[in-house]
Every structure is written in structure tokens, then in C-alpha cells.
Amino acid sequence: MKKSKLSFFRIKITALAGCAVITVIYGILVSLPVFKCKKYQNRISAGQYETMRLRNDENNYRDFIIKYRTQKKELEGILFNDRDVSSFLEEISLIARKSHIKISEMKTRKFKKVEPKNSTSGNSYSGNKPSGNKEDKPLFLAAMPIDIRIEGRFSSIVNFLVFLEGYRQLITLSNVEIRIKKYPLLRCKFTLRLYSLKSGSELKDRR
């Protein structure tokens, strides 16, 4: 009887130990897929974040390109190209005649790169575009001085200068001097500057 009770006790202990082992193994088997799932979820989340970051960078770059092209177009609209210069000289000659102004001298000089004040780089404007062909060269803001001497009445000279200052394209007047020739006629001299975008090679060739 004692022997049978001892055998039953051993069987019970063995059964309980087996159940405990099975429970542990089952827990490991269940938790292992969960761990792998979380690991993959973290990878997916990191990939989604990187994708969103790349999309934001792409949108920012696209906005920059649009803004650059818009500003470049606006800038080119107020600057002179080579054909505009000859047309401008013809136009002011015509306006001078209509305003009873005599142009006694009109001396054009070569385009020169604008050197801004308090700048160490020496570049006033650089329209750097991605290089890839001969047309994609850095552009610099350049000015062409024109020394002009005119004669006329005071009101005619003032109206002529006002016309120049309000011109649709970018020009500046400097060194304006007015002297009496023989009343009521006056003499006026000034320096007029036209602005354009030029490449480094163009500025070098014009020296």
C-alpha cells in the first residue's frame, strides 16, 4: 500500500513538472513571434519616417526651384540684354528731341561687374544654375556706364531726367551737374548706368 502511494506521488510530481515545462515552452513560443512582430514594426515605422522626410525634402526643393525661377524671371524683366541697350539709346534720343533737349555727347562704356560695398566676395549677384552645358554658367550683375551731356531749358532738363528715373527697366543716375550756358539754356551732364546679367567670360571679353 505504501509502495502504491509512493508511486502515485512520484507520478503526480512528474506530471506537475511536465506541465510547468510545457507552460514555459509555450510562453517562449508565444512571446517569440510577438518580439519579432515588434521588431518588424519598429523597422516599418523607421522606414515610414524616412519616406516622409524624403518627401518633405522633395517638396522643399520643388518650392525653392519655383521661387528661384519666379525671382529670376522678375529680375530679367527689369534688366537689359544686348538688344535692349541699342533700343534704349534710340528711345532716349527720340525723347530728347521731343522734349527740345540737345544731346551734345553720349559716350558708352563697357559692362563691368558691380562690386557691392562691404563685401569681400566681389559678387553682386550670382545666378548659379546646375552646370551641365555651356549655357549654364554663373551670372553676375553688371553695369554699363553712359556719360551724357545735354542742353536745354530747365523745365525740359528736369522732365528728361524724371523720364529716365521712371524708366521701366533698371537704370541709375549719378554725378548730375547743371550749369548755365546762356540763359534760359542750361548745360547738364550726368552718368547713366544700365544693368544686366553677364557671365564671367562676357565680362572678361569686354575689358
pLDDT tier for residue 3 given thresholds of 50, 70 and 90 = very low
The grid cell for 97 is: 528731341
**Residue 142, pLDDT score:** 93
Q: What is the pTM of this model?
A: 0.59
Query: What is the arithmetic mean of pLDDT over 186-202?
Result: 90
Torsion of CA 92, 94, 96, 101, to 10 degrees: 150
Q: Which residues contact 89 (CB under 8 A, 6 or more apart)?
A: 106, 108, 146
**Residue 41, pLDDT score:** 65
Question: In the chain, count of helices (H) and strands (E)?
Answer: 4, 5
Query: What is the arithmetic mean of pLDDT over 28-38?
Result: 54
**Residue 101, pLDDT score:** 94
Query: What is the arithmetic mean of pLDDT over 15-27?
Result: 54
Which has more pLDDT, 88 or 131? 88
3-state secondary structure of 172: strand
pLDDT of 150 over the 90 cut: yes
Which has more pLDDT, 75 or 127? 75
**Residue 104, pLDDT score:** 94
pLDDT of 152 over the 50 cut: yes
Rounded Cα distance between 174 and 194, Å, is 12
The phi, psi pair for 146, rounded to 5°, reads -130, 115
Q: How many CB atoms lie within 10 A of CB 10?
A: 10
Which has more pLDDT, 188 or 47? 188
**Residue 5, pLDDT score:** 46
Query: What is the arithmetic mean of pLDDT over 175-191?
Result: 91
Rounded Cα distance between 12 and 96, Å, is 121
Rounded Cα distance between 125 and 78, Å, is 14
E runs forming strands in the chain: 102-108, 112-113, 139-153, 171-182, 185-199
Written as one string, the DSSP assignment of 2-17 is HHHHHHHHHHHHHHHH
- Of these ranges, 14-18, 29-33, 39-43, 94-98, the one predicted with the greatest mean pLDDT is 94-98
pLDDT of 119 over the 60 cut: no
- Write the burial class of residue 185 (CB in 10 Å: 0-12 exposed, 13-18 middle, 19+ buried): middle
